[in-house]
Amino acid sequence: MNFADLGLSSELLKAVDDAGYSEPTPIQAQAIPSVLMMRDLIGIAQTGTGKTASFVLPMIDILAQGRARARMPRSLILEPTRELAAQVAENFEKYGKYHKLSMALLIGGVSMGDQVKALEKGVDVLIATPGRLMDLFERGNILLTGCELLVIDEADRMLDMGFIPDIEHICSKLPTTRQTMLFSATMPPPIKKLADKFLSNPKNIEVARPATANTAISQTKIPVTTRGKRALLRHLLDADDMRTAIIFCNRKTTVRELNKSLKRHGFDSGEIHGDMDQSNRLAELDRFKADTINILVASDVAARGLDIKGVSHVFNFDAPWHPDDYVHRIGRTGRAGATGKAFTFFTEDDSENIANIEALTGQAIEEIANPLKNAMRAPGDNPKGKGKTERPAEDKLEKEKKTGKPRKQTLNPERPELDGDDGGWNGPVPDFLSVALER
């Protein structure tokens, strides 16, 4: 099957061909004809399956006829994050190049005045995050009574972020005789309830079992101590097959600190997290897409929906707290038929998180030996057979305070867990620091 078999216009087919695509993905092949027939639709698909194009392409042809009016968008696409909204806008620009549709992007972190001006001119396509849309709606800058088509994208992420009440409020302001599409990687009960309430006899499309991971991705987990994570990461980043990588951390502070560490060790890395303003986040993504940097350290703000071609590796520097996030994180690689590798670092404290991930995906993650285990004791390692595990470096500091015996004042390249990661001081604990540690 090719795109010409799906009923798309010649102008749209030319734009698809210009983008380098010839065959639709399974969800595109199933969704596009139904959307063109104006049916409501529920699409369950794992990340990286071409879900965005499955609604963008038919929307362009549907909206080709008609005229936009001031402050009354003809269609609305709701996205959970700024990055996802911006990516959908890029797709409309790419595939709508031979159409004359107008578009506005409503996201936080950018000038509200410019967005209001765009709405005043009238838009065919409005792409928005719920917060900014609600803000402008309450100010009277948007009328939703002319919206003929609604897309709720990444619905499970909306649930995680607490947007479901906002989604319900927005849906209540739209015409009842609209076409609605809901896309999600998983279908938890609150999303099923939302679909039952606001969709009319929808066609259900499922191209993979909910919460399954892409089979094109090689998944492994590696035991490691907390102190040994950075050395292990650097070792794996030096692999011959490592081209581009996204490294996921659970905390924004970890993202910042890890990026600084990688740069000090000569890696071309950048970072993206929720504390950055929108312009800097997009600029960092552009640098990564342009290969100016080949490593991106990220919080879960980058886990869902971002379509970045050619990511060869994903590293879970921290095992994700929520099992759904694992599926979305590793889905940044192995996209569009390519293969990828996903490594998850786990400590003794991560056993429950790993178990939840494996229960959700229905498969065990292959465990491989820590390649640096001679230099870093992994959880449970017992080289001396004494029934004790290696004491973390933090515990050794406490022991020094009690015994008054400092560690040697030289760095030992064979023991990176004592290196303080970045060649720091390994001598006696200064008096002022000892006082601080005791507090």
74: CATH:
3.40.50.300
403 & 360 share domain: no
Residue 411, SS3 per DSSP: coil
What is the per-residue pLDDT for 261?
A: 96
Evaluate if residue 244 carries a pLDDT over 80. Answer: yes
Q: Has residue 405 got a pLDDT over 70?
A: no
Assess whether 195 and 225 both reside in one domain. Answer: no
Q: Are residues 223 and 180 in the same domain?
A: no
pLDDT tier, 6 (very low <50, low <70, confident <90, very high otherwise)? very high
Do 60 and 163 have their domain in common?
yes
Distance of alpha carbon 179 from alpha carbon 69, whole angstroms: 19
Last residue of a domain, one of 182, 206, 230: 206
pLDDT band at residue 304 using 50, 70 and 90 as cut-offs: low
Is 175 within a domain?
yes
| pLDDT reading at 375 higher than 60 | no
CB 99 within 8 A of CB 13: no
Residue 271, classed as helix, strand or coil, is strand
CA dihedral in degrees (245, 187, 173, 136; nearest 10)?
-20
Q: How many angstroms separate the CA atoms of 55 and 52, rounded?
A: 6
Nearest Cα residue to 247 out of 138, 364, 384, 342: 342
Continuous segment of H or E residues that includes residue 41: strand 41-44
Query: Which domain covers residue 338, as residue numbers?
Result: 217-367
Q: Is residue 382 part of a domain?
A: no
Residue 113 placed within a domain: yes
Report DSSP state, residue 70. T
More confident residue, 358 or 421: 358
Categorize the per-residue pLDDT at 47 as very low, low, confident or very high, splitting at 50, 70 and 90: low
Residue 236 and residue 201 share a domain: no
Please state, in angstroms and rounded to a whole number, the distance separating the CA atoms of residues 439 and 436: 5
Domain match, 250 and 321 both: yes
pTM beyond 0.75: the answer is no
Least confident segment among 104-118, 149-163, 298-312? 298-312
- In this structure, the chain runs to a length of 439
pLDDT of residue 214: 65
266-280, pLDDT tens digit by residue? Answer: 999 999 987 887 788
State the Cα–Cα distance between residues 404 and 146, nearest whole angstrom.
Answer: 76
* Residue, of 50 and 98, whose pLDDT is higher: 98
Separation between Cα atoms, residue 365 and residue 344, nearest integer Å: 9
* 186 shares its domain with 264: no
Domain assignment present for 122:
yes
